[in-house]
Copies of this chain bind each other. A is one copy, B any other.
Amino acid sequence: MSKRPVSLKTLAQVLNVSISTVSRALRNHPDISPELTQRAQQLARELHYSPNPLAIGLLKNATRIIGVIVPALVTHFFASIISGIESVAIERGYYIVIRCSYESFEKEQECLANLLQLRVEGIIMCLSQETSTYAHFDPLLAADIPLVFFDRVCRPAEVPTVVVDNQAAACGITRHFAAQGRRRIAHIAGPPALNISQERVLGYREGLAAAGLLFDAQLLELSDLSADSATAATQRLLALPQPPDAIFGVNDTTAFAAMKEIKRQGRRIPADVALVGFTDEYHATVVEPMLTSVMHPTFEMGRTAALLFLEQATGPVPPRQVVLATQLVVRESSL
């Protein structure tokens, strides 16, 4: 298509020496005379020579590309994590190729296969919401291709992961509610297959116990992390004979949807129902009332995931499980 860029061959012809000599000259090989080295580097600059990564990749069997698979792109959470991954990738001379699974197990498999075809050097990903079997990662592990999970993880014994302290955070939220005098604390949970859902439910129950409250199955609702399902869950909760006086959403999308529904029904936040989200999207501060939420170190999470990849890429080391601390940011919605 576009004309071929200048190669070592071009330089060699101009300098009237062999290709291998030019190659050495550019890399300051001691075998090459200072004058020729000088001339070659000078010419390379003038002609804007840059080594062809495909040729090097072919030779070294390394593309310097990291594949990244996210369930969704259009969220503060994932965009910020990608941003973190990108930042360390750049520092270390890697490129990242993004693929989106759209929360679909099937698409997740497609993305995986697709990125492997590209010969990525590793994959950093977050499981889709539908993913509940994990055999599709076998080929990666068998081929020694570094794999890193973040947030939603599996097979932690084999694959390095970076997650947040979900259970502790969820416990903290529940205890925060209890400390405000709330007694009927509800939780809108996520898909049961996901570790994040499980851990947050665990933390929720731990918090209840710590506050001396009994677990009430009616107050534990399920959602698929979407606004619609969260709205439905909220409606069911509010329709209870004894509706909750506090709701803890599994993420901020859930909490925003709950907030809308609560307000739509003319109930006051936090007077009638206190509300807390999870993830701390940027807009938590712009809604009214401002949403109490669990701040995730998203950028840091991305950076850590990338560093875990680098760790695996340099030498095969045992998989590390990094747990990042979150912080409960208390705002108007839960006071």
What residues make up the interface of A, taking CB atoms closer than 8 Å to B?
1-5, 48, 50, 52-55, 57-58, 61-63, 65, 73-76, 78-80, 82-83, 86, 90, 95-100, 114, 116-119, 121, 139, 143-145, 256, 259-260, 263, 281-283, 285-288, 313
Contact = CB atoms under 8 A, between A and B. Distances in A.
A82 B86 contact: no
Chain A binding surface SS class: mixed
A89 to B, nearest CB: 10
B96 A97 contact: yes
A104 B289 CA distance: 35
A122 to B, nearest CB: 9
CB-based closest 10 A-B pairs: A288-B288, A283-B283, A2-B144, A74-B79, A54-B58, A54-B57, A73-B83, A79-B79, A256-B286, A54-B54
A74 B76 contact: yes
Nearest to A312: B1
Contacts of A1: 61-62, 121, 144, 313
A93 to B, nearest CB: 9
B98 A86 contact: yes
